[in-house]
Amino acid sequence: MKILKGYLLIASLLLISNTVVAQRNINDILDSTTVNNLLIISKKYGSVSFSGYMQPQFQYAQSKGTAAEFQGGNFGDNADNRFRLRRGRLRADYSLLNDDGTPSTYFVFQFDGTEQGVNVRDFWGRYYEHHFQLFSFTAGLAGRPFGNELQLSSSSREAPERGRMSQTLMKTERDLGVMISFNPRKKTAKLKNIQFDLGIYNGQGLSGPQEFDNSKDFVLRLSHKNYAFKKLPINISGGVSALLGGLNHQLPVKYQMQKLNNVWIMAKDSSATNINKIAPRKYYGADIQFSTKKKSWKTELRAEFIKGLQTGSSTNSSTPTIVPIDKNNIKLPYYTRSFNGAYLTFVQTLNSTDNQLILKYDYYDPNTKVKGNAINAINKLSAADVRFDTFGFGLLHHFNPHLKAVIYYDVIRNEKTKLSNFEKDIKDNVLTIRTQFYF
């Protein structure tokens, strides 16, 4: 029995390693790096494997001091070009299988090292229910089950960065919490392509030092895995997601949009009863992915739309990582806005699977109540209410199974408003040339 178990363990791990390229999501087993994993230890107590990648890059901005928060970070005041190590990941995976070769327990640790420091990216464990083979339970620091782009590993995405919408709503994809998943694992299961995830998380993600209020985010997603049509050369997958959360007001003052004399303004609401009430963060999204079956001229199309309510600060629509404060460390109120956003990504393989053409469009409108000249300081609006549209295009080349490079250009267009600095389009386009080494 021990020998049989050992053979099952090794066979299962080799199978996972050989198919890992198809696994692209940050919470998948042996996947955050989507590379061939090296088996280090294989015994009756389980196995340990290591994988990793690094992304050295050069960037050139349209002007000095470009605010490129969504292209990997802002440029220095007197700089319009730079070398960076965008990511440097090393990941360890531990796996324990049951006697029949089905998964039992999984543990992941991954850190990210760049010239700016070292940070933990993943630290989670997962238990697979064995009797029915329907459920799994995940706890720790892991990706939140929302949407498609937020879950794609940075090593497998074609574009250098996630879109502005994704980064604004969830600046870091991971958060501390727990998740239960329904996904039948038996080969004969009728619902084996259906997955339902429900998670509870702190809310601020990795960008915040700690939980700063009692509100939690409830995140859920219902998705269908890749389905291949029998009579059509097309694969399709997709899902719907929701995030229901918020932030506890810590002041008697809050701001939200209100229509006054047929004009939308950011209205102040001051009442002692506001303290500890929840400023809402409610997101509702749908995503779909198409791909053709032919490898040499494969076409992929991915689209996602998200709308809802977002709570931020007076000058920033991003989810707060700490309680907003001014330069004197005095607490500031929350601002709640209706938003929507979307992206469309087109990837075309050019004859050889080594070459890919990338086209991407995304937009994020942080305040759907106002547009254009209606965005002005008189109505108590700010840069946090300005819409941005981004058009990206590039070419990606795989030199070998362990090295690829991409040249990519972002054309960024902001809404023209009556706000200072946003009366015309800002010169903030960015060129990125990136290589990725991985094992």
Tens digits of residue pLDDT in 284-319 = 999 999 999 988 899 999 999 999 999 999 999 999
Percent of residues, the chain, with pLDDT higher than 70? 91
Spell out the alpha helix ranges (H) of 29-126: none
Looking at residue 249, its amino acid is H
Name the burial class of residue 153, with classes exposed (0-12), middle (13-18) and buried (19+) by CB atoms within 10 angstroms of its CB. Answer: buried
At residue 28, the pLDDT reads 77
Tens digits of residue pLDDT in 89-148 = 999 999 999 988 899 999 999 999 999 999 999 999 999 999 999 999 999 999 999 999
Contacts 24+ apart (CB under 8 A), 108-113: 108/29, 108/32, 108/142, 110/32, 110/33, 112/87, 112/88, 113/85, 113/88, 113/89
At residue 171, the pLDDT reads 85
Which residues, at least 6 apart from 233, have a Cβ–Cβ distance to it below 8 Å? Answer: 292, 293, 294
Question: Mean pLDDT of all residues in the chain?
Answer: 91
Tell me the whole-structure pTM to 2 decimals.
Answer: 0.90
Tens digits of residue pLDDT in 255-291 = 999 999 999 999 999 999 999 999 999 999 999 999 9
- 336 pLDDT band, cuts 50/70/90, is very high
Q: Is the pLDDT of residue 39 over 60?
A: no
Do 216 and 260 form a contact (C-beta atoms < 8 A)?
no
